[in-house]
Amino acid sequence: MNNSHEVTLENHVHRDDVGARMGMWLFLFTEVLLFGGMFLVYAVYRFQNQEQFKLAALELNTGIGTLNTIILLTSSLTVALSIAAIQNKNKFLSIVFLNSTLLLALMFMVNKYFEWSTKFAHGIYPGSKELLEKPNGQILFYGLYYVMTGLHGLHVLIGMIILYIIKRQIKKDIITPDKYVKLENSGLYWHLVDLIWIFLFPLFYLIQ
C-alpha cells in the first residue's frame, strides 16, 4: 500500500515538473511574439530609411555594445553551469555560478546606464530638441532603439530578481538536486534574454 502511494506521489511530482516546463515554454513563446513584432516594425522602417538608419547607428558606441554581448553570452554559460552543478549535487558551486551570472547582469546594466547617460547628455533622447531636429529616419531609429533596448533592459532586471530569488531558494534547500525545475525555467528565461540581445546588437550597432 505504501509503495503504491509513493509511486502515485512520484508521478504527481513528475506531472507538476512537466507542467511547469510547458508553462515556461508558452511564456517564452509570448515573449518571442512580442519582440518578433518589434523586429518586424524595425525591418519595415529600416527598409524605408536605410541611409538615415546607418547614419544614426554610427553615433552608437559599438565597443560598449560588443562588450555587453560578450557579458551576456558569458552569463548564459554561467547560468547553464549553475544548473549542471545542482544536477551534480554541488550546491555551493551552483550558487557561485548564479552569483557570477548576477554580477555579469549588473555589469550589463551599468554599461547600458552609461551608454544611455551619454546619449542624454548630448540631447539625444525621445522628445528632445536635438533629436527632433534630425531627419525623420534618425528619429525613428532612436525611437526604436530606446523602446527595444529599454524593454530588453527591463527583462534583464526582472531576470536578475528571479535569479536572486532562485539563489535564496537553493541556499534554503527549497531547490535541490531532486527538485530544480525552477532553476531550469529561470535559466531558460535568461537564455531568451541573451538571445534577444544577440539580435538587437547587430540591428542597432552593426548596420552597414
Specify the pTM.
0.87
Selected residue with higher pLDDT from 160 and 179: 160
- Distance (Å, rounded) from C-alpha 61 to C-alpha 116? 10
Residue 183 near residue 19 (C-beta atoms within 8 A): no
Residues 6+ apart with CB under 8 A from 118: 61
Which tens digit of pLDDT belongs to each residue from 185-198?
Answer: 999 999 999 999 99
Q: Where are the domains of the chain?
A: 2-205
Look at the domain 2-205 and name its fold. Four Helix Bundle (Hemerythrin (Met), subunit A) (1.20.120)
Is residue 102 within 8 A of residue 163, CB to CB? The reply is yes
- Residue closest to 187 by CA, chosen among 65, 98, 60, 125: 98
Q: Radius of gyration of the chain from Cα atoms?
A: 21
Q: CA 101, CA 159: separation in Å to the nearest integer?
A: 10
Cell (9 digits) for 50: 536605410
- pLDDT tens string 128-146: 999 999 999 999 999 999 9
